[in-house]
């Protein structure tokens, strides 16, 4: 293939296409709330960027500027809503895309484990020993994230951590309804750190993890 002829042959363009697909699927098929859609899109984007690290980006806003701002697909009106675009959904959560890539990368491990566990629960024969081990790994990584000094009240970091906690507990609850013989460790309460200089314009509103929808809706 001729370089540049097909944009999806470029890894970053392929990543961009996958984010568009995820946004549309979460909104049109699973009817998730906008803040939840933005959160999963950011986690998915960062996860893929870290598969093939690119030194040109220090935060996700730089990817946003290059690949999203003028992309027609992001500016499509949402089906059934003539006033909102997928770009609007992302723009409403600016604090997420302004996170440093290294900071948000800390979530890649637990995010991928949680996604796998939901997939395994619905689509694979349940391997108690294997998946209980993954659950323990998730809990260990969660504890590290919970102790991190970036876990400041009302921060983007804390919002992502809340989502991981809620979706893990949701899986733990539905799992034990059917099989209580496997061990899923409990997560500690999220320990909020106080910021020395609160930014009133950042992280206000509903905690994203409090949405009634979860990764359960996506994987199933």
Contact 36, 44 (CB under 8 A): no
What is the C-alpha to C-alpha distance for residues 147 and 190, in angstroms, rounded to an integer? 9
Domain ranges of the chain: 7-101, 108-219
| Torsion sign across C-alpha atoms 108, 119, 131, 177 | positive
Q: Is 214 a residue whose pLDDT tops 70? A: no
Q: What is the pLDDT of residue 178?
A: 66
Q: What is the pLDDT of residue 113?
A: 94
**pTM here?**
0.75
Give pLDDT tens digits for 157-186.
999 999 899 989 988 888 766 677 788 899
- Across the range 142-157, mean pLDDT stands at 93
Q: How many CA atoms lie within 13 A of 91 on its CB side?
A: 10
Contact 118, 131 (CB under 8 A): no
- Whole-number average pLDDT of the chain: 82
DSSP 25: I
User: Which DSSP string corresponds to 52-108?
Assistant: S--TT-SBHHHHHHHHTTT-TTTTSBPTT-SS-BHHHHHHTTHHHHTSBHHHHHTTH
Q: Is 202 a residue whose pLDDT tops 90? A: no
| Torsion sign across C-alpha atoms 37, 210, 142, 215 | negative
The three-state secondary structure class of 193 is: strand
Q: Is 143 a residue whose pLDDT tops 90? A: yes
Phi, psi of 122 (to 5 degrees): -95, -25
Neighbours of 128 (CB within 10 A): 11
């Amino acid at each position: 293939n001729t370089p540049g002829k097909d944009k999806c042959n470029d890894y970053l363009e392929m990543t961009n296409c996958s984010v568009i697909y995820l946004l549309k699927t979460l909104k049109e098929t699973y009817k998730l709330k906008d803040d939840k859609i933005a959160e999963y899109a950011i986690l998915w984007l960062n996860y893929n960027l870290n598969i093939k690290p690119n030194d040109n980006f220090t935060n996700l806003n730089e990817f946003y500027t290059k690949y999203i701002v003028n992309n027609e697909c992001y500016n499509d009106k949402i089906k059934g809503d003539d006033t909102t675009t997928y770009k609007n959904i992302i723009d409403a959560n600016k604090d997420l895309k302004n996170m440093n890539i290294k900071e948000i990368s800390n979530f890649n491990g637990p995010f991928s484990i949680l996604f796998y566990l939901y997939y395994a629960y619905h689509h694979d024969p349940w391997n108690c020993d294997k998946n209980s081990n993954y659950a323990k790994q998730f809990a260990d990584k969660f504890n590290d994230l919970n102790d991190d000094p970036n876990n400041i009240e009302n921060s983007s970091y804390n919002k992502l951590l809340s989502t991981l906690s809620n979706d893990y507990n949701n899986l733990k609850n539905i799992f034990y309804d059917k099989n209580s013989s496997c061990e899923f460790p409990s997560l500690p309460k999220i320990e909020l750190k106080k910021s020395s200089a609160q930014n009133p314009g950042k992280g206000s509103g509903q905690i994203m993890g409090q949405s009634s929808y979860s990764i359960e809706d996506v994987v199933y």
